[in-house]
Structure 1
Amino acid sequence: MHSDWRCDNCGDVPPFHVAEHISTDIVDSMLSRQAATAERTPFWCPWPLPAGWMVTGAGWAGDDRTGVRATALACSGPDPLGGGPADVVLIAEQPGVGLGTRFAGIPGLDPGHLVADALADGHGHPGPHAKIRAGGHPTPLWCVKSPEDRSAYVSEAKGMWLYAIAWPASAGYFLAEHVELHDLSEGVPPELVYGAPSPYLQGKA
């Protein structure tokens, strides 16, 4: 007998916990749990939020034994191209967790091989597909192959994987709007705006 959760495709994985709603108290609670973890996992949030966008969900992967091994934060707002609703889930995770690949709809626990494929597709010009700032540092993002209903971008920040998954696929242009990612474990902006729970983070989409 063991306490690990098991995925039929990936084997043992840490359980994923999602808050039923989002508020400052929920974020503070998650950050308190994170503070007890030996290796801090960033809790990335766009800040300042682009016009019309709000935070719509938060979750974490891990248990009382392993601590927080991955974090997820959902944001919702207007699609930069289509004009309809759009959702973006930002994930930071330690290697071997597989939360980001699950949301991106891609196989495996880590995206290294997919980043390599994205670089190979550059035909000798392996420039990033998007550029943001994470924790004050320039951070390149590579678009990796994912299902047609979304776009998935991958990078590294603070020594961990960073994913940005957007629905619909055109919402990936959100990342072209000079996005700055702030680690909420370094302080939660009091002006942060919250909205109704994202169905993508809740697994109801």
Structure 2
Amino acid sequence: MGLSWCPKCGAELLAPSVYSSDWRCAEHGPTLPLSIFARRDAAALEHIRERAEVPLWVPDPVPLGWTLSGLAAVGDDRSRFRATVVACQGPAPLGGEGEWLIVAEEPGVGLGSSYARSSTTDARALSAGVAAAKIHALGHPTSLWPVLDTVADRSAYVGEADGVWLWLISFPADAGYAVLEDLAVTDVRHRAAPSIGTGPLSRRLRPGN
């Protein structure tokens, strides 16, 4: 792990000290830290799944040509991880290169909406209309709703799986059409991770990028 960031805005955090046990963001105050892992290997996956209170979602099966491009988590040794992120890169459905960020988070963390660049931080408000797609999470059909107020270079969908929020943020926006193609994800806290190669480290894992 390297530096720690605010999950709501991507700002660098002030670390705990003798005066305060909290990580602090200049804008959002006390917050759990987002840590981005330099390594994307079995040891990094093991580190996250041993400490995660939420799923660690990985595509299963992995779409042809897609690779693992990043891992991140929100939390520390006291709180354990309250959000996880898996980044994958590969051929976009409509041509060119695409990237997904698959986020699992407890309510209130704010990481998914930050990646989506959405002003709506409460995912419940997004899931009131008609679902746009379904993916399979642990073999169960899971409805996803579109996040409409994203910026033009991405698309975002959100739903609920295993009792917490599941976000899929796609770059470019048309890479999100993959959710319409029977995407399945598995929680590698409880199952062996599917075979997936390693790609270049994602630049999207710090919110604000």
The answer to whether TM tops 0.5 is yes
**Partner residue of 1:134?**
137
CA displacement 1:18-70 (0-9 Å, x = unmatched): 11131122111222233xxxxx3100011111111111111110112211100
Give the superposition deviation at 1:192. 2.5
CA displacement 1:47-103 (0-9 Å, x = unmatched): 11111111111111011221110000001001101x111100000011111111111
Asked if residue 13 in structure 1 is aligned to residue 31 in structure 2, the reply is yes
Change (3 A) 1:106 1:10: farther
Distance in 2 between residues matched to 1:11 and 1:156, nearest whole Å:
27
What secondary structure is seen at the aligned counterpart in 2 of 1:30?
Answer: helix
**Partner residue of 1:166?**
170
CA displacement 1:6-27 (0-9 Å, x = unmatched): 4455443210011113112211
Distance in 2 between residues matched to 1:192 and 1:72, nearest whole Å:
16
- Greater Cα shift, 134-143 or 192-201: 192-201
- Greater Cα shift, 150-159 or 62-71: 62-71
Structure showing the higher helix proportion among its residues: 1
What do you get for the CA RMSD once the two structures are aligned? 1.9
Change (3 A) 1:61 1:204: same
Change (3 A) 1:17 1:177: same
Aligned residues between the structures: 190
Distance in 1 between residues matched to 2:208 and 2:122, nearest whole Å:
24
Distance in 1 between residues matched to 2:155 and 2:26, nearest whole Å:
24
Give the superposition deviation at 1:188. 2.7
What secondary structure is seen at the aligned counterpart in 1 of 2:199?
Answer: coil
Give the superposition deviation at 1:194. 1.9
CA displacement 1:108-155 (0-9 Å, x = unmatched): 543222333xx1xxxxxx2x1111100111101011121111001000
Distance in 2 between residues matched to 1:100 and 1:166, nearest whole Å:
12
Query: Do the aligned residues in 1 keep the contact of 2:60 with 2:194 (CA within 8 Å)?
Result: no
What secondary structure is seen at the aligned counterpart in 1 of 2:198?
Answer: coil
Choose the corresponding residue for 2:48, options 18, 30, 36. 30
- TM-score by structure 1 length? 0.85
Asked if residue 143 in structure 1 is aligned to residue 146 in structure 2, the reply is yes
What are the within-5 Å matches in structure 2 for residues 53-72 of structure 1? Answer: 53-72=66-85
Distance in 2 between residues matched to 1:203 and 1:10, nearest whole Å:
14
Taking only the aligned residue pairs, the percentage that are identical comes to: 41
Query: Do the aligned residues in 2 keep the contact of 1:10 with 1:109 (CA within 8 Å)?
Result: no
Letter in 2 for 1:84: G
Letter in 2 for 1:144: V
Query: Do the aligned residues in 2 keep the contact of 1:135 with 1:183 (CA within 8 Å)?
Result: yes
Query: Do the aligned residues in 1 keep the contact of 2:126 with 2:145 (CA within 8 Å)?
Result: no
Query: Any stretches of 5+ residues in structure 1 without a counterpart?
Result: 35-39, 120-125
